[in-house]
Structure 1
Amino acid sequence: MRAGGRQEKVEVGTIVTMDRVTADENGNVELPAVLLVDGKTITSDAEKLAKVKVTAEVLGDLRGPKIVIQKFKNKTGYKKRQGHRQELTRVKVTGIK
């Protein structure tokens, strides 16, 4: 499935942490499939994959670890410190249709 700018390999029941997504009123989200493997059959055709949807239940929103960004230039007195925490969502895959 495609989750933000990444791809995740999932099955029904898999819990995935991905970039923040908004859920519908029931707490579910639909994600597009990138590749479908069903037993010995592998589907990678874009037309057939457009019909496949991965449904997932949102378990909760969280934030990633803090990343510290520091910039420094020697002999000029330039120092800059900045922090970042990524907004994430934890989802559980409930179905692949």
Structure 2
Amino acid sequence: MVFAVVRAGGRQEKVEVGTILTVDRLKANESDTVTFVPVLHVDGDTILAGSDLANVTVTGEVLNDLRGPKIVIQNYKNKTGYKRRMGFRADLTRVRITDITTK
């Protein structure tokens, strides 16, 4: 079993070949190839971390761009009549992991 933990959008995600990831918006078009920074690589009994990861590459293919669910933000201050309501939707990119290689 081969998998890797990659740094993607301020988070760490465990990925295998074929995993579909949703990350913060990437500056890439559909069907472009992107490379992720590995944090950990596990290949059976072999575990690579730290400076051993210089030879490990994790690549993926951009599937599409999308927007996350709407988050409603409300501010309210008691006894002053102040209230404010805003919404937010994150820009996301969906990526399929195509290859995890060790040189």
| TM-score over 0.5 (shorter chain) | yes
Unaligned runs of 5+ in 2: 1-5
Instruction: Judge which range, 50-59 or 60-69, deviates more.
Output: 50-59
Q: Give the alignment's Cα RMSD to 1 decimal.
A: 1.5
Alignment identity in percent?
A: 64
* Count of aligned pairs between the two proteins: 96
More strand per residue: 2
TM-score by length of 1: 0.92
- Is the aligned partner of 1:16 residue 2:26? no
SS in structure 1 of the partner of residue 52 of structure 2: helix
For residue 83 of structure 2, what is the aligned residue in structure 1? 79
Q: Which residue of 2 aligns with 1:28?
A: 33
Moved over 3 A (4+): none
Question: Counterpart of 2:60 in structure 1: which amino acid?
Answer: A
Is residue 2 of structure 1 aligned with residue 7 of structure 2? yes
Please report the TM-score for the alignment, with normalisation by the length of structure 2.
Answer: 0.87
Quick one: distance in 1 between partners of 2:25 and 2:45?
34
